[in-house]
Amino acid sequence: MGASPVADNLLFFTELVSMPVLDVQGRRIGRVKDAALVPMVSSSRIDRVLVGGGYTWLTIRYDQIRSIVLGKGIVLSDEQLTPYHDDEYMLRIGRDLLDQQIIDVTGRKVVRVTDVTMGIHNDGIRDTLTVLEVDIGLRSIFRRLCQGLVSPRWIRRLQRPIRPNSILWDLCNVVETDPLRRLRLNISYEKLEQMHPADLADIVEELSPAERGAIFETIDSEAAADALSEVDPKMQASILEALEPEKAADIVEEMAPDEAADILAEMEKGTSEEIMDEMDSAEKTEVQELLEFEEDTAGGMMTTEYVALHDNATAADALAALKGNTGLLESLNTLFLIDTEERLTAAIPLARSFIASGDTRLKDLASGTLIQVTVDEKQNRVTELFDKYNLLTLPVVDEEGKLAGVITADDVISVLRQK
Amino acid sequence: MLKLLRRFRYHLLVFFAVLGPGFITANVDNDSGGIFTYSAAGARFGYLPLWTLLPITLVLIITQEMCSRMGAVTGKGLSDLIREEFGLRMTFLMMTLLVLANMTNVMAEFAGVASSLELFHVSRYITVPISAVAVWFLVVKGNYKSVEKIFLFGCFLYVTYIISGFLVKPDWKEAALYSVEPKLMLDKDYIYMLIGMVGTTIAPWMQFYLQSAVVEKGVTAKEYAASRIEVIVGCIMTDVVAFFIIVACAGAIWSVRPRDIQDASEAALGLKPFGQYAFLLFSAGLLNASIFAACILPLSTAYSVCEGLGFEAGVNKRMREAPVFYFLYTLLIVVGAGVVLIPGFPLVRMILLSQVLNGVLLPFVLIFMIRLINRPDLMGEWVNPRWFNQVSWISVVVMIGLTLALVGITVRGMP
């Protein structure tokens, strides 16, 4: 596949630039300087071609073009050209795309654009250019280096042995930090919301602080919260600090309270208070309680999101409780029982309550020994317990034996990895 | 009072959080080539050249500070920014020069490893391959955090020079006096020596390395105040080490009989009459400096090139994910270490060539830096203040002048 010649209906941006432009009579007007999309109208059709001739640049609309042929040039069908002025709705390929970083959504990485591959499409009246792929890698670097020094035909021949490396334009996401321009260029980050949070986190880590901010500002709070909890802990606080407090609060509310507390603890006091002021009171109290604990104790590791039922509850009650807490389902694997004074009495593996008949008392399904720690237990001891008893969850109780929170295996893994 | 203490503790914590890039970059400046330059200056002219260290420190701080500021504010490496603002062709040209210059630098470092261990009668055919493999594994198998810790420990080992400086018992009064009193002589060798000292102060790779390291470390504009202090302290420490190298050679060699030395290991031998320890520490310092730089140069080169040309890079990536990065990194080490083992290889000429390449590249790097750092769309409120711009233009022009003078001297003197 690497050796196949480039088809005639493809045109690289490097070839388009400096192509001669001829008017209806075949007189040369000038050379192509840049081309632009107008994403509001079409996300891939080249809407304008900018020509430099004489003192000013002129704008050619796509419907003023008759034909585009490599080696010959662009022939126009209309001569009413307008002088170029910097239109804010234009995404200029040469200025805004070439040499900049974009996100490859399926490849899940940040890449730098070296060239752009366009298709020439003829509908019987005119040739239209559409952006097909963004080129990265050696082949496009070679093209850029030779551009203007060697004829395009020769470049196409010489580049054959180099393996192409391109990304479909539909799978690219341009990053724009200016919110107003983002609107005008119709840039959204919806594609990013579909990615796995851990992949999105990797991408975000590679971007600059301004670009990070732009993404977290725009994607919905839930996706943002999921991604943020996967970001390098050192970076988390600085990302939230850069956002508007309301948006930051929205994201923090969506996070697990223990993770939210960890991030807020990393921030300067003024900023974290500003964010907490914007939060809903329920989530705020949870987070505040967690902030009281030292980071390297069981209290600092635990989350307050768990499902606790009354001592005498049955399997049917458990099912009902789960239906009311669908938000927790993804990571839930243990149910807890508490007595009338909220003291922890038993832990029940979730799967057991499933196979039990509806009227079975949960108490009877409890694991043999109840392993629990107090809020001030040291982090090292907690990880030891997880290892020794092969735990998935570990309940944490306060001085009076009341259930305060739960530590899950993923918390322990994060702690171990940071060492 | 308690509040003040707590504030101090906070600042100290932030300082340690950003510690690394500035320190490491400045210290690697004292690589085997740097140590040779300073030793030669001390052996030939004694305490006279000490005054240059003050302006050298200033210029070093000014240039390093700009890079670390750009890294913290934009979150992008220098070659990233050059690519985005000046296009692919310019980046490619600069990266080609950088690879060539650094390759010859790596050769010089492995030559330093060889000669420092040959002082202890260990053959280079054993030491160079072992150290090359060790260097390769350290970075490939480590992660950024652990590697940085080892590097910081390497910075600490420069203390050996300070101790050996004391062991030689130089004339402290004279050393103190000449540190602040500029001494100019219209002697050809003296002027060459001065140009050499200043001309080797800033190498292009340092600017690229520092900025990438600041980005990798995740320093933000908010923590930048601490980062700036780190850069300044690092630069000062580097020149304190340089001071002690000059003083040690002045006390041990110049005070006995002023003479030219051919390489840094000869300086170490010159310290022998002042005790086994002085000799030992000086040679250990040379070994440390050479290995240290041999680690960082290939790494920094591979990083800058991949960043600028848009290839995947990073020690945290696997070899399959970042093939170009690992290829370049390995190539630099293999070639750099390999040529030291070829008998009759014109190593000296190569090292002189690296000076020329560095000199050609430096003006581009410095001018691009100043242009980038004055762009409000990149730097926002962090652009250079006006007075700082004047100071940095002056130092850049002086640096470019002196570097080009050094290139001129080198080319004329080349065999």
CA distance B191 to B21: 33
Q: Look up tokens 């003479």; give the residue.
A: B259
Eight-state DSSP code of residue B251: I
Q: Do B310 and A234 touch (CB under 8 A)?
A: no
Report how many domains make up chain B: 1
List, in order of start, the domains of chain A with CATH numbers.
10-169 (2.30.30.240), 188-292 (1.25.60.10), 308-418 (3.10.580.10)
B342 domain-assigned: yes
Nearest by Cα to B374 from B58, B59, B86, B70 = B70
CA distance B227 to B68: 8
| Domain range for B274 | 19-376+386-413
Q: What is the pLDDT of residue B94?
A: 93
Per the CB < 8 A criterion, the answer to whether A20 and A74 are in contact is yes
Distance to chain B for A145, nearest Cα, Å: 6
| Cβ-count burial B353-362 (b if 16+ within 10 Å, e if not) | bbbbbbbbbb
Report the 10 Å Cβ neighbour count for A357: 8
Q: What is the pLDDT of residue B410?
A: 76
Say what percent of chain A tops pLDDT 90. 21
Give contacts of B214 with chain A, Cβ < 8 Å: none
Residue-wise pLDDT tens digits, B302-348? 989 998 998 888 777 788 888 899 999 999 999 999 998 998 888 77
pLDDT at A47 exceeding the cut of 90: yes
Dihedral of CA atoms A145, A146, A149, A153 in degrees, nearest 10, equals -160
Give contacts of A145 with chain B, Cβ < 8 Å: 88-89, 92
Q: How are beta strands A373-374 and A393-397 bridged, if at all?
A: parallel
Q: What is the pLDDT of residue A11?
A: 93
Q: What is the pLDDT of residue B6?
A: 65
CB–CB contacts below 8 A, A to B: 43
Q: Do A238 and B309 touch (CB under 8 A)?
A: no
From chain A, which residues contact B within 8 Å (Cβ)? 99-100, 109, 111-114, 136-137, 141, 144-145, 207-212, 232, 234-235, 238, 241
CA distance A70 to A167: 23
Instruction: List helix spans (H) across A121-193.
Output: 138-146, 152-158, 179-184, 190-193
Q: What is the pLDDT of residue B106?
A: 92
Of A111, A145, A212, the CB nearest to B89: A145
Q: Which residues of chain B have pLDDT under 70?
A: 1-18, 144, 414-415
Q: What is the pLDDT of residue B16?
A: 66
Q: How far is CA A247 from CA A217, A379, B198, B222, B313, in A?
A: 7, 32, 51, 20, 33
Give contacts of B311 with chain A, Cβ < 8 Å: 137
Per the CB < 8 A criterion, the answer to whether B194 and B56 are in contact is no
CA distance A63 to A47: 8
Residue A264 φ then ψ, to 5°: -60, -30
| Cβ-count burial B396-407 (b if 16+ within 10 Å, e if not) | beebbebbbbbb
Q: Please spell the DSSP secondary structure of B176-210, one letter per residue.
A: HHHHHS------HHHHHHHHHHHHTT--HHHHHHH
Residue-wise pLDDT tens digits, A354-402? 788 778 888 888 877 888 888 888 888 899 989 888 888 899 988 888 8
Q: How far is CA B378 from CA A93, A208, A231, A326, B365, in A?
A: 20, 11, 24, 45, 17
Q: What is the pLDDT of residue A1?
A: 40
B235 domain-assigned: yes
Please state at what angle helix B21-28 crosses helix B276-309, rounded to 10 degrees.
120
Residues forming a β-bridge with A397: A374, A403
A82 membership: H or E segment, kind and range = strand A82-83
The residue of chain B nearest to residue A207, with distances taken between CA atoms, is B75
Residues forming a β-bridge with A45: A130
Give contacts of A270 with chain B, Cβ < 8 Å: none
Tokens of B356: 């020329």
Weakest-pLDDT range from A28-32, A338-342, B108-112, B143-147: B143-147
Distance to chain A for B308, nearest Cα, Å: 9
Residue B365, CB half-sphere, CA atoms under 13 Å: how many? Answer: 30
B73 domain-assigned: yes
Per the CB < 8 A criterion, the answer to whether A371 and A322 are in contact is no
| Preferred mutation among A17, A109, A112 to probe B, highest tally of B CBs within 10 A | A112
Tokens of B189: 């060798």
Q: What is the pLDDT of residue B1?
A: 60
Residues forming a β-bridge with B188: none
| Preferred mutation among B16, B211, B220, B372 to probe A, highest tally of A CBs within 10 A | B220
Q: Do A114 and B88 touch (CB under 8 A)?
A: yes
Residue B143, CB half-sphere, CA atoms under 13 Å: how many? Answer: 7
Q: Do A241 and B76 touch (CB under 8 A)?
A: no
pLDDT at A5 exceeding the cut of 70: no
Q: How are beta strands A101-104 and A109-112 bridged, if at all?
A: antiparallel
Distance to chain B for A191, nearest Cα, Å: 22
Give contacts of A266 with chain B, Cβ < 8 Å: none
CA distance A169 to A119: 12
CA distance B208 to B308: 10
Per the CB < 8 A criterion, the answer to whether A93 and A80 are in contact is no
| Residue A3 confidence class, pLDDT cut points 50, 70, 90 | very low
pLDDT at A52 exceeding the cut of 90: no
The residue of chain B nearest to residue A107, with distances taken between CA atoms, is B321
Q: Look up tokens 């320093």; give the residue.
A: B219
Instruction: List helix spans (H) across B250-322.
Output: 264-270, 276-309
Q: Which residues contact A148 (CB under 8 A, 6 or more apart)?
A: A18
Q: What is the pLDDT of residue A7?
A: 78
Q: What is the pLDDT of residue B414?
A: 60
| Preferred mutation among B6, B78, B88 to probe A, highest tally of A CBs within 10 A | B88
pLDDT at A2 exceeding the cut of 50: no
B334 domain-assigned: yes
Q: What is the mean pLDDT of residues A55-83?
A: 89
Q: What is the pLDDT of residue A320?
A: 84
CA distance B368 to B371: 5
Nearest by Cα to B304 from B277, B280, B328 = B328
Q: Look up tokens 């055919």; give the residue.
A: B125
pLDDT at A167 exceeding the cut of 80: yes
| Cβ-count burial B260-287 (b if 16+ within 10 Å, e if not) | ebebbbbbbebbeebeeebbbbbbbbbb
Q: Do B310 and A112 touch (CB under 8 A)?
A: yes
Report the 10 Å Cβ neighbour count for B9: 10
Give contacts of B212 with chain A, Cβ < 8 Å: none
Residue-wise pLDDT tens digits, A253-307? 888 888 888 888 888 778 888 888 888 887 888 888 787 787 788 888 888 888 8
B10 domain-assigned: no
The residue of chain B nearest to residue A235, with distances taken between CA atoms, is B218
CATH of the domain at B124: 1.20.1740.10
